[in-house]
Amino acid sequence: MNKCVLVGNLTRDPEHTTTASGISVCRFGVAVNRNYPNSNGEREVDFFNVVTWRGLADNCAKYLVKGNKVAINGSIQMRNYEDKEGNKRTSVEVVADDVEFLSPRGENNGGGQAAPAPKKPVMELEPVDDNELPF
């Protein structure tokens, strides 16, 4: 069974494209902290390339920016291809089945342009005379 779960922060703004047949694709990177320190006492970070498809790709492109925290459920996929010079390359990426946006709306932990959160109206309270209370 090929399943993975990642929780981390976007390392770059999502790149949204469309295939020749009109299917939406969104690619972005995620940095995930390891649960344990290395021999020097430092926490290491792993970097993963993530790809989403169709409606999920549209939502990721619309709402995510660099620095946002996400939870990803998906599978690991390896692709073989040739680069521009004709060299054979291998790419490992996470194909996301589900991406949960963990950063509050409007909060931006990175350098992207997140939409500001709507301001809540402030309700002013008037003082109450204790003698007017029925209890």
pLDDT, averaged across the chain: 88
CA-to-CA separations, 129 to 40, 47, 123, 124, 133, in angstroms, rounded: 64, 61, 19, 16, 7
Residue 71: the pLDDT is 98
For CA atoms 52, 33, 70, 4, give the dihedral sign: positive
- Band of pLDDT at residue 104, cut at 50, 70 and 90: confident
Domain CATH code at residue 73: 2.40.50.140
Of 10-14, 48-52, 96-100, 120-124, the poorest mean pLDDT is in 120-124
- Band of pLDDT at residue 133, cut at 50, 70 and 90: low
- Segment 34-89, tens digit of pLDDT: 999 999 999 999 999 999 999 999 999 999 999 999 999 999 999 999 999 999 99
**Single pTM value for the model:** 0.74
Q: Domain total for the chain?
A: 1
What percent of the chain is predicted at pLDDT more than 70? 80
What does the angle CA 6 – CA 105 – CA 111 come to, to the nearest 5 degrees?
A: 75
Domain holding 60, by residue range, is 4-132
